[in-house]
Amino acid sequence: MTAIADGDQRVYADTVRQHGRAIGFYAFRILGSQDSAEDIAQETFLRLWTHADRWQSDKASLSTWLHRIAHNLCIDMMRKDKSSKTDEYEDEMADPRLGAEQQQESDDRHQRLQSALMMLPERQRSALVLTHYQGLGNQAVASIMDLSVDALESLLARSRRALRSALADLQEPGIVKKKPTQSGKDKLAGQSGPGEQT
């Protein structure tokens, strides 16, 4: 980061390659629009370039700091433009392995889920996306959102309850997967999302 603050473009490029897509994913999950997500990612990394000297490694990891910048930018954008789009899924997310009927069913399901996610209040959505999709630890998410861990857990619980309620009719009874065991703990801990575990 000192190198970026000193104007080293090679280190900056490495940082973009390491974190660029994760920031794009985050913004997309929050805003529901690929174009807006790319704008947010672009602005986030411009801020990294211009304000690299403000990052304090003892207070937050680089990933957490970048997510915080992106989070604030997303909030600004949502407040300016209340109409975040959710209709991109139909055109851009088609799975080529599915037949037409299955594709339609899958699209409907995804559309329902995306709509339910976008219907969540801004803070609930951010908390859920940061923990579930970005794979950030609770301390990191609490720091990004300026919350205590207890308040974060409360937000997360409310967001999950709201989603479960919105999608209740999609739930098919009897689908049960094997529970994780102590022996499988290491394997599970090895899995990671697009972000980092802190």
Partner 1 sequence: MTISLQRFEQLLDAYGASPQRWPDHERAAALQLLEQSSSAADLWQSAQWLDQQLDQLPAPDFMYLNTTLLTGPLPARRKKWTDQLLEWLMPAQARSAAVFWRPAALACVPLMMGLAVGNQLEIFSDVDTTDLYSVDMEETELELISLADYSEILQ
Cα 62–chain centre separation = 16
Q: How far is the CB of 109 from partner 1 (least distance, A)?
A: 7
Write the binding mask 147 to 166 for partner 1: x where contact by CB under 8 A, - elsewhere: --x--xxx-xx--xx-xx--
H-type alpha helices, 52-148? 62-80, 88-92, 100-119, 122-128, 138-144
137 binds partner 1 (CB under 8 A): yes
Write the binding mask 81 to 120 for partner 1: x where contact by CB under 8 A, - elsewhere: --------x--xx-x-------------xx--xx--x---
- 118/36 Cα distance (integer angstroms): 14
- CA dihedral defined by 20, 23, 27, 29, rounded to 10 degrees? 110
Selected range binding partner 1 among 55-63, 76-84, 96-104, 188-196, rule: CB under 8 A: 188-196
Among 16, 62, 75, 147, binds partner 1 (CB under 8 A): 16
For 6-12, which contacts have Cβ atoms below 8 Å and span 24 or more sequence positions? 12/45, 12/48, 12/49
Write the binding mask 23 to 62 for partner 1: x where contact by CB under 8 A, - elsewhere: -xx--xx----x--xx--xx--xx--xx------------
